[in-house]
Amino acid sequence: MAGGRLRLRTVRSLAIGVAAVLLAVGLLLPRSRGSSPAPALPHSALRGTAVTVAALRGHAVAVAFFASWCPGCHTEAAALERVAASAGPDRVVGVAYDDRTASAIGFASRYRWTFPLLDDPAGNTGAAYGISHLPTTVILNARGQIVAREVGPQTVTRLRAALRAAG
């Protein structure tokens, strides 16, 4: 009888260990990057004319949610402009999330941003895109679908790779 209990404990311990390993591996794997239709972008432009998701179709786009008060947004600002300057028109779109208009315009001017800038002062568009932290860059594929969500400051290399992968 004692041998049976020992075997049962061994099997239970082994099962718990296997479950723990499977859980750990599952948590370490990259999240699924399935696609979903992108919500509408804000109708108000900070500079120039507003762009729509439909107008952006045909190539991958990085939609960068930022705010002038966000330290990480300052960290990635130069990278966004470098990618926009090298990738072509409308490959990067900035969305000022929950920020004062004047502050967002000053931020964009400070970093000499040349890409389209949209205004989301109440954060409604950000909420529709599932933004919970700034900076967050949402990658859209050529069909206007969300294929990736990159949280935190991005580098030129990471942005280019995300756009290529969404290509």
141 CB contacts (<8 Å, ≥6 apart)?
35, 60, 147, 166, 167
Tell me, what's the pLDDT at 132? 95
Q: What is the DSSP letter of 129?
A: T
CA dist 142 and 30 (Å) reads 22
Q: Does domain 36-166 have CATH number 2.10.240.10?
A: no
Mean pLDDT of 30-44: 76
- Does residue 28 have a pLDDT over 90? no
Question: What angle, 0 to 180 degrees and rounded to 10, lies between the N-to-C axes of helices 71-87 and 156-166?
Answer: 60
Q: Which residue did the predictor score with more confidence, 14 or 69? A: 69
Position 160 pLDDT exceeds 70: yes
Residue 34 has pLDDT above 50, yes or no: yes
Of the candidates 85, 104, 2, 86, which has an alpha carbon nearest to the alpha carbon of residue 45? 104
With cut-offs at 50, 70 and 90, classify the pLDDT of residue 3.
low
Strands, E assignment, the chain:
36-37, 45-47, 61-66, 92-97, 117-120, 136-140, 145-151
**C-alpha span between 109 and 105 (Å, rounded):** 6
Coil, strand, or helix at residue 114? coil
Give the rounded percent of residues in the chain with a pLDDT score beyond 90. Answer: 74
Residue-range domain boundaries for the chain? 1-30, 36-166
* Banded pLDDT at 88 (limits 50, 70, 90): confident
* 97-140 tens-digit pLDDT: 999 999 999 999 999 999 999 999 999 999 999 999 999 999 99
- With 0-12 / 13-18 / 19 or more C-beta atoms within 10 angstroms meaning exposed / middle / buried, residue 31 is exposed
Q: What is the DSSP code (8-state) at residue 41?
A: P
pLDDT of residue 87: 86
